[in-house]
Amino acid sequence: MTDAVGSIDTPDAQDEVPESKRKARKGGKRAKKGPLKRLATFYRQIIAELRKVVWPTRNQLTSYTTVVIFFVVIMIALVTVIDYGLDHAAKYVFG
């Protein structure tokens, strides 16, 4: 039994390219540039991405910072109360 036309197992005849017409790849774009040029390109891309960032305004930054500090203070208080309670419970149980 033969495979259907376009099967994954066997390529179609029109898809095959003779060996003489295939190009040999030599490392792609990276082989053309030295390490310093690649590093410079990397930093240029970083700067280009940072320009796309929507930075918060001063008022937004102040409100976000206040919320974070308030949340951290509440969490510190909660952990302190739990620690104090567990300390007294351990002293009660173990003497």
Range 2-11 contact pairs with CB under 8 angstroms and sequence separation of 24 or more: none
Q: What is the pLDDT along the chain (95 residues), one digit of tens a residue?
A: 555 555 566 556 565 666 666 665 555 555 577 889 999 999 999 999 999 999 999 999 999 999 999 999 999 999 999 999 999 999 999 98
> Are 21 and 15 contacting, i.e. CB atoms less than 8 angstroms apart?
no
Distance between CA atoms of 16 and 58, rounded to whole angstroms?
61
Cβ partners under 8 Å of residue 18, min gap 6: none
